[in-house]
Amino acid sequence: KMDHHCPWVNNCVGFSNYKFFVLFLAYATLYCVVICATVVQYFIKFWTKELPDTHAKFHILFLFFVAALFFISIVSLFSYHLWLVGKNRTTIEAFRAPVFANGPDKNGFSLGFKRNLVEVFGDQAKNWIFPVFSSQGDGHSFVTRLVHIGPEQANSILQQNGKIPANGEPSPCVLVNSAPHTEDSSKETADASQTVAVTMDSEP
């Protein structure tokens, strides 16, 4: 499972470290919020000229703007990856859909929002916010949606569940009536529907 190569951390992000990458974005977003929250009071005093006229006020100005700019960029990237986690989709799959037997499908690995979170963060919610590896799977084989199985596999599954008889030819039934629909009855119905009454008036 390959997500993307991140030049900011100088490493490739994949199955083994994707959870850590998402948590890194969450921690960085929270850190920017803390910086802006603690510096905003001094930033307001800077604009109202209540701070002492020293070089330190420019440090406060620089710190606030850098934290705000990083917050905007990181929170957008963090939101995008949360959306990818909810879809159980990688960055590469978002730009190029994976190809299955029935064709390309971006949602081929989507198992529902809750199960998608479990695939990345694990089945123990208490470990989601901590940097410990808890992702599901081995990184090579993943569960896909049922719609991607072939017709033969679908028939075998339905036969196991008793939905289709062993011969693979379910007996057709009339939708409205519970009586079985046979070939003879269908012929009779067809003959009856094709019967046309013709009357001719003879001239005197």
Q: Residue 24's closest CA among 35, 38, 11, 37?
A: 11
Active-site hit among 6, 12, 36, 173: 6
3-class SS at 153? Answer: helix
Active site residue 6: yes
Identity of the residue numbered 153 = Q
The answer to whether 135 and 18 are in contact (CB under 8 A) is yes
Query: Which of 134, 93, 129 has the alpha carbon at shortest distance from 110?
Result: 93
**CA neighbor of 18 nearest in space, from 86, 98, 85, 80:** 85
CA distances from 116 to 128, 143, 149, 155, 177 (A): 13, 10, 20, 27, 44
- Measured between alpha carbons, how far is 10 from 25 in angstroms, rounded to an integer? 15
How open is the CA angle 159-163-166, to the nearest 5 degrees? 40
Q: Which two tokens stand for residue 20?
A: 């850590």
Active site residues: 6
